[in-house]
Structure 1
């Protein structure tokens, strides 16, 4: 697994020592500080997270999915992976595994599983639905290849049986749509209570 940035290790230490309320403050401060890097040419990483969370709130009405959607790409921040460096498309640094490992200390499995599986969900959707692949951006198609490409039928069937995969596929579809420049969304603090409710 890709090594964590120094700031991620410091953040994790602070999170482990904090109360539940302090953990929300630390988490949101981390997202605000390190989410200002570019996700793609249209949005920052924080904007992408907020757009994904808004879609989850509007379309799922499941609080755990809102939290998972807000935090699904925090692994990119933890390994300093962002568009300015071009590293999203050069190699697979397993940002979803980085995120899942960190979040599992603080959140239940129903939040962590969709985060952990949202990359696999992309591969699954691409393998089962040609129209889904056709609708991806060029950058998403390139990262799909880097992340392993199309699955065999047996691989796809195994993934479908994994815990949290249906949630991960829903998250993936919101993820794909959450790249709109200039769209107005609720600010991060709007999610304080739902995140607090899901902290262990």
Structure 2
């Protein structure tokens, strides 16, 4: 289990870290995604998944998991420090974007220019076979919810989850 100080340090390490051309930094993005999860009534595991979904971009995590895409590095970190459900949602949040583009044509128009660009690099819309396999997983709706919170967590004026609330959720899940 991570200590309160380790959690603070991890998220403080995201402050000022660019978020691929978006108008918010990695810390704001993470805490906004978590705030959206709370507003949607998500349970603590999904709030944590929202907060940690891009942790694979944090310097210590990326260095430990060199060469892995951020969602896989983040999932590896989450398997060590969160729950399997949180880790799976983190690992699948990129796949969920590909899924949503495949099943909801209007979804593409909601993506930021950066997300449209990365979608191409991530493989574009899922094939029908990939879509069926994704839908068959028991936690696919968790990954889709996380993806939607991720997409809306790019507002410099948007709400952010206070660190104390994030730490409290972490302690409830990990006790």
The verdict on a shared fold, with TM-score over 0.5 as the criterion, is yes
1:74 alignment partner, one of 48, 52, 55: 55
2:12 to 14, 28, 32: 32
Q: Distance in 2 between the 1:61 and 1:123 partners?
A: 22
How many residues are aligned here?
Answer: 169
TM-score of the pair, normalised by structure 1? 0.78
Aligned equivalents of 1:61, 1:163: Cα separation in 2: 16
Deviation at 1:189, TM superposition (A): 2.3
Equivalent residue runs for 1:97-176 within 5 Å:
97-176=72-151
What are the ranges of 5 or more consecutive residues in structure 1 without an aligned counterpart? 1-19, 81-91
Please identify runs of 4+ aligned residues in structure 1 that moved more than 6 A. none
What is the TM-score with the length of structure 2 in the denominator? 0.88
Determine the structure 1 residue equivalent to 2:26.
45
SS of equivalent residue, structure 1 residue 36: coil
CA shift digits 1:15-34 (9 cap, x unpaired): xxxxx4x5332122111123
Unaligned runs of 5+ in 2: none
Give yes or no for contact 1:96–1:118 (8 Å, CA) kept in 2.
yes
- 2:71–2:92 contact (8 Å) kept in structure 1: yes
Once the two structures are superposed, residues 138-183 of structure 1 have per-residue CA deviations (whole angstroms, 9 ceiling, x without a partner) of 1111100101112211111011112421100001001000000133
In the alignment, what sits opposite 2:3? 23
User: Which has the higher Rg, Structure 1 or Structure 2?
Assistant: 1
Quote the offset at 1:111 in angstroms.
1.5
